[in-house]
Amino acid sequence: MPSGYVEDPKIIYGIANFAKDGSNMFVATNLGVWKFNGSAWQIDSQLDDSKNTYYIEQTSIGEILAGTEKGLWKRDVNGNWLQIIGFDQLHFSHLIDTTGVMTI
């Protein structure tokens, strides 16, 4: 079982980087963000035990943004998840301009 394993998600809210082979694909679920490791799906982050990850999006510079009931999160290109300071309220959606800059 992968480290950080939780029960299987029941709801998929969104997909970033859809690929039929699952490579570099992220899925927003009721149990955090999941990623395909080449042979199985595993939890990428529970985002501070957020119950629901309502949306997920990739910016033009390769970062992943995710909105939860505990706020807005960013996964940098090195795979580190960080909560964005000042955006700790419920987030259902966001906008990204053509340069990859997030606007709320």
Q: What is the pLDDT of residue 94?
A: 61
Task: Give 24's pLDDT tier (boundaries 50, 70, 90).
Answer: confident
Q: How far apart are CA 103 and CA 101, in angstroms?
A: 7
**Greatest Cα-to-Cα distance within the chain, rounded to the nearest angstrom:** 39
- Please provide residue 42's backbone torsions phi and psi, each rounded to the nearest 5 degrees: -140, 160
Q: Is the pLDDT higher at 76 or at 5?
A: 76
Question: Tell me: the pLDDT tens digits for 42-95?
Answer: 888 888 888 899 989 888 888 999 988 888 899 999 999 999 877 776 666 665
Predicted TM-score (pTM) of the model is: 0.78
